[in-house]
Chains A and B, each alone.
Chain A
Amino acid sequence: MELLIKNGFVYDPLNGINGEVMDIGVKNGKIIDPSQVDLSRAKIIDAKGKTVMPGGVDLHSHIAGPKVNAGRVMMPGDHYKSFIKFRKGVHRSGTGKRTPSTFLAGYRYARMGWTTVVEPASPPLETRHTHEELDDIPIIDKICFLLLDSNRILLDYISKGDFYSFKNALMWLLESTKCYAVKLVDPGVAIPWSLGKGYGMDVDDTIEPYGITPREIVTNFAKANEELKLPHPIHVHCNKLGIPGNCETTLKTMKAISDGLSMHVTHVQFNSYLGESWFDVRSGSEEIAKYVNTHPNISLDAGQIDFGTAITMTADAPFEYALFHLTKWKWAGSEVENESAAGIVPFKYKKKNMVNAVQWCIGLEVMLLIEDPWRVILTTDHPNGAPFTRYPKFIALLMSKKYREELLKKISRAGLKRSILPSIEREYTPYEIAVITRAAPAKLLGIHSFKGHLGVGADADIAIYDINPETIDFSSDYLKVKEGFSRALYTIKNGEIVVKEGEIVKEFFGETIAIKFKERPDKEVMRDIESKFQQYYTVNLSNFVIEDEEIRKLKYIPVGE
């Protein structure tokens, strides 16, 4: 199918195009020079007065995997009123707002113009389940990160100081589970948690019986990540998440990474609280922003919260257990053998609650205070902070100080005194919005050669929004901006029109992107891993490895020399 998108205002930060009126040609799922489009056969989309952007890339969104499934079971109330009806030949039905079913997750992302999504935490043993669910998500391209912080085999190597074996084991784990990058959740926490401890573990606390610290875990992974030339830096959920005073811990973790190495600190909002207790909690966004502004090896995503019910699900089990005692509603906890421990707790963020108001401000503050938009990314840590369907709201909030003032009137005044959001004047331009939602995540993921831009040769993932940047005043017409971004006029995925005027018109399945190392893991190390695997796990190693055929559409990215 050939397409020609005519006269749109194009925002393509990776190619430096800022709102120029341009034509874009599409052929065989790739972007081509518009002059080469065969006009007799091509479908022409008139995008005059519309905004054209590359398809969105979400760096951190829990949309699949065993814990999302447990969340669905735990929240039947989430599925009563939020649903989509079946339409024959067009799309399937689905339910759920905060934990949508697989189909609905794909449709909702496509409706907003997002085309690539990362499931950021999958324990190795449960990754087969994650891939089964990802296979079921239509339209969008999927990436899966591997949860490795408490993996007994890797921790063994770290405690012995055997970096070579560690690196090879890491390589084998990533490749055999068809995952893309390393995710560390509260590094090492599942080890003390198996003894009922571990709440509030700091960077320099010792993890028994290994005798190592979370700092060593992070630095070892960062070093191995660098030596293996993985496309994405290590994806770290820092220690002491959700505990007042954790800003210092986050800064310590960032400082542990020396200049040659790089790190992505995820949902930083949950990790930037100053103060000693919940009574004197303050926003620590300034400290975080100050450090990140001067250190280009660190990147962030926001983890913005929104008011209303959310479901917190993370592999930080002690924190979830503590949160359950705060909410006294529901809790689920589980431990994956030798690998990680996770918890799920539904949580309601309230406008009039001081702490929740501070949290709400921190996410926006971080995004507004960090000067380089290429290193800060808009996420809500779906469904921990808010469902991903709230992205348009936060885009509008970032672009309009007036909208922020409007909403700040409604939230807790005690919370406002502890944050600096009311004093921030900055407003994002549409170009910067295109950076934080498309170009920057694609670049951080290392898929910017074919995703997140509209240059010739890129995948034809395009979103067209009914927003005219010439007539609209982004600062005062914030409701129009919000509506415009929540229903894409057209979403084009791999050269096919999948969304038209906010409705799904076609369904197909996207790819799962994984990495393939050019070198093979050391045979000596492999033998060691095999014996360790037999010793530690209840499954056989041959049953653990995920084959290529098990995944619907697999795309490899070559990594290494």
Chain B
Amino acid sequence: MGRLFILKPKTKFNVPVEAEKIRPKVFAEKSLEDIKKIKVYEGNRERALGELFEIKEEAVEEDIVRIILEGDFRKVWRIGEKMGFGEILVNGDCGHYLGYNMKGGKIVVKGNAGSWIGAEMTGGTIEIHGNAGDHIGSVLRGLKASRGMKGGKIIIHGNAGAEIGTQISKGLIAVEGDCGPLPGLRMSGGTILIRGNCAGKAGARMTGGKIIICGNAGGVLPTFYIDSIAKSVKVKGEKIQGPFFLFLGDVLEDIKCNGRLYVNIDKNPELSKFKEFLGE
């Protein structure tokens, strides 16, 4: 026997609400009355969850804890922080730090999302149907590489901002649309798939993993070596048709050049000179 919660904001928030308590584990252990008493911060003031949101509970047949967030959650941050199981569904937009340090479960956002989505996550799935902000699946600023994204999947059907997948070591970030500059900054493993265009500087300081850019890459950094031409690339069992230039790098960071950068040949006419280097 599962539980289903529906949350609706009572007012429009002017200051950020730090809602790290909105996660299935916290809700599953409590009665509805207790859930309404959970303390969250709105700006610098402590408030009860029941003061800020209308909370309803419904019974569901499946054995699952599901939280549905209806309405505008753009000012609500840290939803599903450290979440380990269950589902969160956002019918609308949501704010920053969604699924920060997430370990399992599933988050689906029907609208747009803010920045730092899935930062430092180690498992689970995040799916965003709209656009997302910057630093998707990244590490918080100033922390060691070992704190980066270590697993799980982030799928963005729209566009994404700058610096996605900073210091990622495992897992998948897939962007159906375009993305900003510097994807895969300092990455050491994992996969970043960009089906649209990229604003440039892909894979700066990478030491491992792969980045696949199906659209225009906005140039390749001079610290990458051309290796070969690949007809297709496999990502989690799916075959992505090319053909692609395969670059290795970043030599500035690691002389072994274990990072792989695939760039579509047809969409990048300015890179055609590399064909000459390969003798084709």
Task: Flag if B144 contacts A74 (CB, 8 Å).
Answer: no
A80: Cβ under 8 A from any B Cβ: yes
Q: Is B140 part of the contact surface with A, judged by Cβ < 8 Å? A: yes
| 7 more A-B residue pairs beyond the given contacts A74-B142, A76-B141, A77-B141, with a C-beta to C-beta distance below 8 A | A76-B140, A77-B140, A77-B142, A77-B143, A77-B144, A86-B44, A329-B144
- B253's nearest neighbour on chain A, judged by CB, is A328
Top 6 nearest A-B pairs by Cβ distance? A76-B142, A77-B143, A77-B142, A76-B141, A75-B142, A80-B140
Please give the distance in Å from B246's CB to the nearest CB on chain A: 27
By a beta-carbon cutoff of 8 Å, the part of chain B in contact with chain A is 44, 140-144, 147
Of chain A, the residue at the smallest CB distance from B141 is A76
Q: Tell me how far the C-beta of B211 lies from the nearest C-beta in chain A, rounded to whole angstroms.
A: 22
> A329 — nearest CB in chain B belongs to which residue?
B144
B94 to chain A, nearest CB (A): 21
Which among B44, B140, B144, B147 has the highest number of chain A CB atoms within 10 Å? B144
The docked-state distance in angstroms from the alpha carbon of A78 to that of B141 is 10
Q: Which residue of B lies closest to A86 (CB)?
A: B44
With both chains docked as a complex, state the minimum distance between the C-beta of B5 and any C-beta of chain A, in angstroms: 28
Mark contacts of A66-99 with chain B using CB atoms, 8 A cut-off: 1 yes-contact digit, 0 otherwise: 0000000011111010000010000000000000
Bound together, the chains give a CA A76 to CA B142 distance in angstroms of: 5
Note all chain A residues with C-beta closer than 8 A to B141: 76-77
Residue among A77, A80, A86, A329 with most chain B CB within 10 A: A77
- In the bound complex, residues from chain B placing their C-beta under 8 Å from that of A80 are 140
Query: Closest Cβ of chain B: how far from A327's Cβ, in Å?
Result: 10
A-B contact pairs, 11 of them (CB 8 A): A74-B142, A75-B142, A76-B140, A76-B141, A77-B141, A77-B142, A77-B144, A78-B142, A80-B140, A86-B44, A329-B144
Q: In the complex the two chains form, what is the Cα distance from A80 to B44 in whole Å?
A: 16
Instruction: For the complex, give the distance between the alpha carbons of A329 and B142 in Å.
Output: 10
Find the A residue at minimum CB distance from B139: A77
With both chains docked as a complex, state the minimum distance between the C-beta of B261 and any C-beta of chain A, in angstroms: 22
User: Across the interface, which residues of B come within 8 angstroms of A78, CB to CB?
Assistant: 142
Instruction: Report the separation of the CA atoms of residues A80 and B140 in the bound assembly, to the nearest whole angstrom.
Output: 9
Chain A residues whose C-beta falls within 8 Å of the C-beta of B147 in the assembled complex: 77
A77 to B119, CA, bound (A): 14
CA distance A329 to B186 in the complex (A): 12
CA of A77 to CA of B120, assembled, Å: 13
Most buried by A among B141, B142, B147: B142
- Write the A294-326 contact mask toward B (1 if CB under 8 angstroms, else 0): 000000000000000000000000000000000
Report Cα–Cα, A76/B143, bound state, in Å: 8
Q: How far is the CB of A93 from chain B (nearest CB, A)?
A: 10
Chain B, Cβ-Cβ closest to A78 = B142
For A76, the closest partner residue in chain B by CB is B142
In the complex, chain B residues whose CB is within 8 Å of the CB of A329: 144
Chain A contacts for B44, CB-based, 8 A: 86
For residue A76, which residues in chain B have a CB less than 8 angstroms away from its CB?
Answer: 140-142
Taking the nearest CB of chain A, how far is it from the CB of B185, in angstroms? 15
Q: In the complex the two chains form, what is the Cα distance from A77 to B44 in whole Å?
A: 21
A80 to B147, CA, bound (A): 14
Instruction: State in angstroms the CA–CA spacing of A75 and B140 once bound together.
Output: 11
CB distance from B44 to the nearest CB of A (A): 8
